[in-house]
Structure 1
Amino acid sequence: MTNTEALKIIESLADGRCPMTGQILEGVYQQPDVIRALSVAARALERSERSDRRRETLPERTGKSWDTVEDQQVCEKFDTGKTVEEIAVIHQRTKGAIQSRLQRLGKIKL
């Protein structure tokens, strides 16, 4: 089951409806605390989905640790006139990561 499928079920339950038939459910599903808990769970799943989608769009090396070899390569590329954007693509990092690293290495001031 995907997060999207689970979210639809949880939202139906939070609305007090059977996820399969749409019929109104009685009993525990009409209790305010149960409804609130299901709503909180639904929002958490939505945030998780947004985070997963964002992670899929980030460069492959996002969040990976830096080493001295990569630091040297980034500095060399910067010194030879490559733009931050070009360096980011080459090193599979975000532009922000490259800017921060160049600042840390004393190559630029932000």
Structure 2
Amino acid sequence: METRKATEIISLLSDGVNPYTGEVFPEDSPYQHPDTVRALLLAMKGLERIEKYEKRQGALPANAGKAWNEEEEGLLAEAYDKGQSIIELTEAHGRTKASIKARLVKLGKIEA
């Protein structure tokens, strides 16, 4: 199930509404109990955080957060020495600008 869909269902339940029929739950329903409503609202906050995280992860380059290996470091250093820009290097390696710069610092190609 997608996080967005789960959030919609939890939101309706916390509002006291059956997410499948649109009917309002009776007052004696467990979904109308204050503790249940509080728990559902807490669950919604958690799902919203997950959704935000998923959105951010989707926007990151393919190799963001992955470990560097010697071969990739060598290719990076060689491309930098040939004059490729940081932007070109981010695209070629699927990494963020911060990651490229940090690796170039580690390789002694630029200063921190």
Post-superposition, which runs of at least 4 consecutive aligned residues in structure 1 deviate over 4 A? none
Aligned 1:18-37 pairs, distance under 5 A: 18-25=18-25, 26=27, 27-37=29-39
| Range that drifts further, 15-24 or 29-38 | 15-24
Find 1:89's aligned residue among 88, 91, 108: 91
TM-score by length of 2: 0.85
Which structure 2 residue ranges, 5 or more long, are not aligned? none
Which structure 1 residue ranges, 5 or more long, are not aligned? none
Residues matched between the structures, number? 110
User: Letter of the aligned partner of 2:21 in structure 1?
Assistant: T
RMSD after superposition = 1.6
CA distance in 1, matches of 2:54, 2:69: 27
Match of 1:100 in 2: 102
User: Letter of the aligned partner of 1:12 in structure 2?
Assistant: L
Match of 2:53 in 1: 51
| Range that drifts further, 16-25 or 39-48 | 16-25
